[in-house]
Chains A and B, each alone.
Chain A
Amino acid sequence: MDAARSVLLSTSEARALFQRIAGNIEQVMRGQSAAVRKLLAAFASGGHVLLEDTPGTGKTTLAKALAASVGAQFTRVQFTPDLLPSDVLGVSVFNQKEQQFEFRAGPVFTNILLADEINRASPRTQSALLEVMAEQQVSVDGRTRPIDALFFVIATQNPVEFRGTYPLPEAQMDRFAMRLSLGYVDAETEVAVLEAQDRGHPLARIGAVASREDVLALMDRVREVRLANELRHYIVEIVQRTRGAPQVLLGCGPRASLALAHLAKALALFDGADFVRPEHVQELAESVLAHRLVLDPQAKFAGASAAALVGDIVREVRVPA
């Protein structure tokens, strides 16, 4: 596309870029390096992320820190029940002066989109967004408008509060490459968070450490990471086992295998490797697969969780060594 992307990044350059962004984010998000790793892997592999966690764990902060670290366009949409598709995608408005309709682009025409509390919007609006995520284009008034090559959606949702929400349908959950939970940090880290905020929010102090072009180059580089055939088999075996598990109504599809392979490549590059190792697959399996599973209601009632199920499957499958 442009000159900066014509040269492929070297492994060490890619790793340095990753480290730079991660370091920047970790100034804001303390004690979440594991989640940051995965988030950046998804970011660099072009997969969208669903952050699901209890309120106050820093979901929005993480998304904003990522956006701040990359010198790219960032928009945020607060999803509410009365949000309409046109509020997300854009709308054609009649211009009195020009005597014609002109398109006012919605917030999806951006590089990084934070869809906050996505499950509060009506299914209609959710669908509009999810379509953009899958197709990378917006169709309004019979015209199809492409979205920038760097388009990354971080959606957040709250898993405990369900009143007035519209849970995402399973088919749409599948559009997210991974679901991340941040969880609570330990006491020491939390103390450090308090201390850091004494002099204002750290988010205000960080600046961009990578350009849009840097990120696009990184995305190109991820595709060059090598994946052994043996690990492809390993990935497929894990994914296929989710289909046969007795507690599962609906297992993971081939899109899950693709996402796992692609994310594992990005994670390998994050570690400065040219090739994927089994541990990368293992590290990502739960985040990539669990949200796509539909559990049997009885199993759910009996306390089974999709994450635990994927963990069990990973423990059952013999790992290549």
Chain B
Amino acid sequence: MTPAMKLPPLLLGAALAFWGLEVGQLALGIGLGLTLEAAARLPWRVDLQPASYERLADLCTVFFVGFIVVGAASTDSPGVSRSILAGLKYLPAFIAPIAAVQLLSSSGRLRLSALLRAMRQRKRRDPAARDPLIDFAGPYLAVVLLSAGLANDRGPLYYAGIVVLAAWALFALRPRYAPIALWAMLFATGAGAGYAGHVGLTRLQAQIESWISDWYLSGMDADPYRSRTDIGSIGRLKLEDTIVLRVYAKHGDAARLKLLHRASFNDYYRTSWVAHDAPLAPLAPAAGGATWRLAQGRPVVSARIVTRLEGGKAVLALPAGTLEILQLPAETLETNALGTVRAAIGGEWAQYVVDAGKAIGDTAAPTPADLAIPVAERPAIDRVSAGLGLAGLAPREAIRRVRSYFASFRYATYRNTPPAPGMTAIGDFLERSKRGHCEYFATATTLLLRAAGVPTRYATGFAMLEYSTLEDAYVVRARHAHAWTRAWIGGQWVDLDTTPPDWFGIEEERAPLWQGLSDLLRWASFRWSQRAPFEAGTGAYVLLALLVGILFWRLLRGRRMARAGSGAASAARSWQGMDSSFFAVERRLTERFGPRGASEALGPWIARVGVALDPSARAELLEALELHQKLRFDPAGVGGDERRRLGVLTAGLERALRTT
């Protein structure tokens, strides 16, 4: 960099103050800014050895990494990525010492190797390797601005600040031949385009998020009152392979956990199922506050379920016949008459243990709503019902006939034609296309059984079908979302799934090729996310201490190696007699007679400049030189007397040279 490209005065200080404002540490920002600006303006300079720069940079790194590790390992950790983000936000404070020593140095630069360990290693191998001097102030300014951006959640202030600082920096660099007005106009155009661009991007992101949120981001906080189905939609159902649940259960119990129920609905209206007349009511926890009893009975299966929350809430996925939810420290837990359980838990993850009995006992007995068939669907339902002779049949026989009727139907997630005119989507499914996905089967079954006089509900949840040997758990993906029917048979609710059993296979075929890899990554991130709430404590701090210890050890070791290594290089050596007091005399002589050439030996030089001195001073000078050279170049060294004599001579010479 040429001196012309130096940062304009006060820019760094202003940028740091701006950074402080953005990250909410205004005092720190202003303090750092003042310190650095003062460092640049102080009249005296401090030059550190290259090794000291390296040590300082390493120390800054240790503190920075330590900050991130402490943040990530603390019990209330927001996660590793958040800790890194927080660390980056404060990066300017961590590396400010490097900027300060550079500003204090007389060269105003620092070696690139001070910042990059890899470069130092290369230099150790090959001392001739290029190691350019860099001006750290520019990169530091960029770091300050980027860090300020990481903290930005206050809208236009950040952009305005960036524009002002950029104008400040660029104004000093503007081409002198162009009028200022033209420069200002171009800069304003650029700033405006930048603003339009970033606002546009934000809008676009919001739009895309709203598009994908339906099937990806909705997480587990489903609407317990309404289930909008995809019945009647044209096109392919978009199903994600994201893992939404992990179920840890014995293999023997898993067979009973095939369907994990979340919400039931009793009222079908225009392709939507609604929970009619079933408000959620809070449930009081049992003693301890983490146990929630939903029904009475003897538990036969048990499972631990881990789920991701959205906004701290979830409609819980529960196996049929859930009696108790254990180890769930929820703030509130609400249930309704249809067996829907919603918990407000807080955080990103929830895990709970479920004990389930044989019968579904957490659901209220049927009401007239469980027999209602919407008017629009009635003609088709009646026709099919009449064709099957459902009216007046015993529930089990009715179910058998409905099942056999659907045996010829096919599972499909793709529809390319709308329903025929005058037909509803369900009617079309039942009488014409005979193909559809689980929502068709579940809705049609629910309505047909109602026509047979069996109270039914439309149940939604997940099918637990995939066991992961990697995770040693059953994993439930977003695409395993399922719908089925709950029928009231013999005085209790029974889950009834009429979707052809090959649906799971068809779904699996659509799993992307990279699912294995993405599952591995998901598992890793899941394990990591579970670490804080479940494994934090002394272990984390031991780990942290170990890590910091290793970092320090590596640094110390590196330093020792550097010290041993520099012994081979003559430049870094300290030779005997370098503390000779004669050097002070040499400095005085340099002041009077000009400097000695780098290759001019001391003897000839003294002989040359000594001519100008008076004879007594010259004699003293030659005697001092003799002693100095003995001190420096005689491996036998000098005795104490000679050393004292040299001290006396040089002190006298220094005085004499200063006064004359």
User: Contact residues of A with B, CB < 8 Å?
Assistant: 226-231, 233, 237, 274-279, 282, 314-321
Contact = CB atoms under 8 A, between A and B. Distances in A.
B514 interface: no
A230 B633 contact: yes
Interface string B635-647: 1100000000000
Given A228-B632, A275-B636, A277-B633, A319 B576 contact: no
Interface centre among A237, A279, A318 (most CB of B within 10 A): A279
B632 to A, nearest CB: 7
Given A230-B575, A237-B570, A279-B604, A319 B633 contact: no
Nearest to B596: A321
Contacts of A314: 599
A231 B629 CA distance: 12
Given A230-B633, A274-B634, A279 B603 contact: yes
A315 B599 contact: yes
A321 B600 CA distance: 9
A276 B632 CA distance: 10
28 contacts: A226-B635, A227-B635, A228-B576, A228-B632, A228-B633, A228-B634, A229-B635, A230-B632, A231-B633, A233-B570, A233-B573, A274-B636, A275-B629, A275-B633, A275-B634, A275-B635, A277-B601, A277-B629, A278-B601, A278-B602, A278-B603, A279-B602, A279-B603, A282-B601, A320-B632, A321-B596, A321-B602, A321-B632
Contacts of B362: none
Contacts of A230: 573, 575-576, 632-633
B642 to A, nearest CB: 13
Contacts of A275: 629-630, 633-636
Q: Which 5 A-B pairs have the closest CB atoms?
A: A275-B634, A279-B601, A230-B575, A228-B633, A278-B601
A320 B576 CA distance: 11
Interface of B: 570, 573, 575-576, 586, 596-604, 629-630, 632-636
A318 B632 contact: no
A213 B630 CA distance: 30
B113 to A, nearest CB: 22
Contacts of A321: 586, 596, 601-602, 632
B633 A276 contact: yes
Contacts of B600: 319
A230 B632 CA distance: 9
Nearest to B628: A321
Contacts of A276: 633
Contacts of A277: 601, 603, 629, 633
B635 A228 contact: yes
Contacts of B629: 275, 277
A226 B636 contact: yes
A313 to B, nearest CB: 9
A274 B573 CA distance: 24
A317 B575 CA distance: 17
Interface centre among B576, B600, B629, B633 (most CB of A within 10 A): B633
A229 B574 CA distance: 11
A233 B597 CA distance: 19
A278 B633 CA distance: 8
Nearest to A311: B599
Nearest to B636: A226
Nearest to B575: A230
Contacts of B635: 226-229, 275
B93 to A, nearest CB: 41
Contacts of B601: 277-279, 282, 319, 321
Given A226-B634, A279-B603, A282-B601, 14 more contacts: A228-B632, A228-B635, A237-B570, A275-B635, A277-B601, A277-B603, A315-B597, A315-B599, A317-B599, A318-B599, A319-B598, A320-B633, A321-B601, A321-B602
Contacts of B636: 226, 274-275
A318 B598 contact: yes
A320 B602 CA distance: 8
B650 to A, nearest CB: 14
Contacts of A228: 575-576, 632-635
Nearest to A316: B599
A311 to B, nearest CB: 10
B306 to A, nearest CB: 68
A52 B575 CA distance: 38
Interface centre among B576, B600, B629 (most CB of A within 10 A): B629
A314 B604 CA distance: 14
Interface centre among B586, B596, B604, B632 (most CB of A within 10 A): B632
A319 B586 CA distance: 15
A233 B632 CA distance: 14
A237 B598 CA distance: 14
A321 to B, nearest CB: 4
A286 to B, nearest CB: 13
Contacts of B633: 228, 230-231, 275-278, 320
A282 B600 CA distance: 9
A318 B604 CA distance: 15
A231 B598 CA distance: 15
A77 to B, nearest CB: 39
A237 to B, nearest CB: 7
B539 to A, nearest CB: 54
Contacts of A231: 633
A231 B603 CA distance: 15
Nearest to A276: B633
Nearest to B633: A228
Contacts of B599: 282, 314-319
A237 B571 CA distance: 11
A227 B633 CA distance: 7
Nearest to A317: B599
Nearest to B630: A275
Contacts of B630: 275
Contacts of A279: 601-604
Interface centre among B576, B598, B599, B600 (most CB of A within 10 A): B599
A248 to B, nearest CB: 19
Contacts of B604: 279
A278 B598 CA distance: 12
B631 to A, nearest CB: 10
A278 B596 CA distance: 14
Contacts of A229: 575, 635
A279 B633 CA distance: 11
Nearest to B580: A321
Contacts of B603: 277-279
B446 to A, nearest CB: 91
A278 B575 CA distance: 14
Contacts of B573: 230, 233
Contacts of A278: 601-603, 633
B603 to A, nearest CB: 4
A237 B573 CA distance: 14
Contacts of A317: 599
A274 B633 CA distance: 10
A238 to B, nearest CB: 10
Contacts of B586: 321
Nearest to A233: B570
A221 to B, nearest CB: 15
A304 to B, nearest CB: 19
A201 B516 CA distance: 105
A233 B633 CA distance: 12
B582 to A, nearest CB: 9
Contacts of A319: 598-602
Given A228-B633, A231-B633, A320 B598 contact: no
Contacts of A282: 599, 601
Contacts of B602: 278-279, 319, 321
A231 B573 CA distance: 13
A55 to B, nearest CB: 33
B525 to A, nearest CB: 56
Nearest to A228: B633
A276 B598 CA distance: 19
A314 to B, nearest CB: 6
